[in-house]
Copies of this chain bind each other. A is one copy, B any other.
Amino acid sequence: LTRPDMNYLEPDLFQYSDTQGTRSFREEIAKFLTDYARAPKALNPEHITVMNGCCAVFATLSTVLCDPGVNNFQKLLFTEGFTNILAASLLVIGLCLSFVCVSSYQLFFFQGIRVRALILINPHNPLGDIYPAQLLKECLEFAHRYELHVIMDEIYMLSVYDDTTFTSVLSLDCLPDPERTHFMWGFSKDFGMSGIRVAVLYTRNHDIQKAVNQLAVFHSCPGPVQHVLSQFLRDRDWLDNVFFPTNKKRLKEAQNVLVDGLADVGIPVLKSLGGLYVWADFRKFLRSQTFEAELELWQKLLDKKLLISPGKAFECYEPGWFRLVFSDSVDKIYLCIQRLEQTLHSFVAEPVTNNTASTADALCNPEKDSSGKPSNPPGEGVSQLKNVLIY
């Protein structure tokens, strides 16, 4: 972005342009996604709509796919912010994780709720899991069977570690229902540019795209921004040899520092393969195994300027899980660990006022568990979150 030729802007870029996104930007995005998502054949720039962020893409798709004024989709969302954001647009889309797909769908069906779409976030947010190719295909077939649209949110597509194989929906040779499969990606996560407000929708469904393009006038991106990002995507040498290796190295280092630091404080985390966060088990520090206790702990941490996301925000059904973002400088992560240790120490040492079960000894005697399962909180049975790998 600091190269001198980045600063030359044609006057046309300051005028109204195609609300779908400028042709040249869509061409660059198509080439970029073809290569980085490993599409079997070149993606078509005409199937791309550029908008100002994935929130805008979600809001527009919800308007296009749902009947106006009706909450068609059950609120079952696993990404912080989605719930509030989509509720604000008056329509809420249901996210069914693979293992709850069928049961959730049947539940909604019997409740008379018309489910229209399945949102899959891959890599998963907040778990950091990656959908294996086979599971991804099963999800797509499930959706096809029930005539559901699939909204594939792959915004963390290139934030994947440890040489993990990531299967983008764009890389599949044959989709069960291509007309109902929609892909989205943006610059916020993989390029660390959430402030630039650019995301894209890729859909082969002509009718949906036509409707989305009509609404895109409310969510358009500045011409100069589209131009600068086109140049950015075009510089493959820099992306492949400088940006992505450096970015991945730094993120991996930050992740290690956080995971090790949490382990020292006695907090296990799920094995995460992608995303910019870890999903951590604070259950042993809750005063009771309730969401009220989770909120109490969250508030205590926030008072010490530690902003982490409680599981409740992701509709997690078990209290005590938190998402911690590590895409920051290592210094700040060390500071975070230090504050976390101090805060948890004083928190468990505080006299319990409204609760009978004391966890005052939790920090002093964290359970050591090397079995590969999450350690269980005091006074609690086994975790309801099964089969999860932890560090």
| Stretch of A53-61, A152-160, A169-177, A301-309 on the interface side | A53-61
Query: Does A14 belong to the interface (CB within 8 Å)?
Result: yes
Q: Which residues of B contact A59 (CB under 8 A)?
A: 218
CB-contact partner of A219 in B69, B192, B219, under 8 A = B219
Query: Does A110 belong to the interface (CB within 8 Å)?
Result: no
CB-contact partner of A55 in B195, B197, B218, under 8 A = B218
What range describes how many residues of A lie at the interface? 35 or more
B-contacting residues, A154-207, CB 8 Å: 192-198
Query: Does A85 belong to the interface (CB within 8 Å)?
Result: yes
Task: Flag if B89 contacts A218 (CB, 8 Å).
Answer: yes
Copies in the complex: 2
Query: Does A9 belong to the interface (CB within 8 Å)?
Result: yes
Query: Does A221 belong to the interface (CB within 8 Å)?
Result: yes
Task: Flag if A220 contacts B53 (CB, 8 Å).
Answer: yes
Q: Nearest B residue to A63 by beta-carbon distance?
A: B90
Task: Flag if B197 contacts A14 (CB, 8 Å).
Answer: no
Q: Nearest B residue to A70 by beta-carbon distance?
A: B69
Task: Flag if B90 contacts A219 (CB, 8 Å).
Answer: no
B interface footprint on A216-234 (CB within 8 Å = 1, 0 otherwise) = 0111111111000000000
Task: Flag if B55 contacts A192 (CB, 8 Å).
Answer: no
Query: Does A40 belong to the interface (CB within 8 Å)?
Result: no
Q: Which residue, of A6, A16, A84, has the highest number of chain B Cβ atoms within 10 A?
A: A16
Task: Flag if B221 contacts A197 (CB, 8 Å).
Answer: yes
B-contacting residues, A333-364, CB 8 Å: none
Query: Does A20 belong to the interface (CB within 8 Å)?
Result: no
A226 vs chain B, min Cβ distance (A): 9
Q: Given A223-B195, A223-B196, A225-B225: A85 and B217 within 8 A (CB)?
A: yes
Query: Does A13 belong to the interface (CB within 8 Å)?
Result: yes
- Can you list 29 pairs linking A and B with CB atoms under 8 Å apart? A14-B192, A14-B193, A15-B194, A15-B195, A52-B52, A52-B197, A52-B220, A52-B221, A55-B217, A55-B218, A56-B218, A56-B219, A59-B218, A63-B90, A68-B68, A68-B90, A69-B69, A69-B70, A88-B215, A89-B218, A195-B222, A196-B222, A196-B223, A218-B218, A218-B219, A221-B222, A222-B222, A222-B225, A225-B225
Question: Lowest 7 A-B CB distances belong to which pairs?
Answer: A69-B69, A195-B223, A14-B195, A16-B194, A14-B193, A68-B69, A15-B195
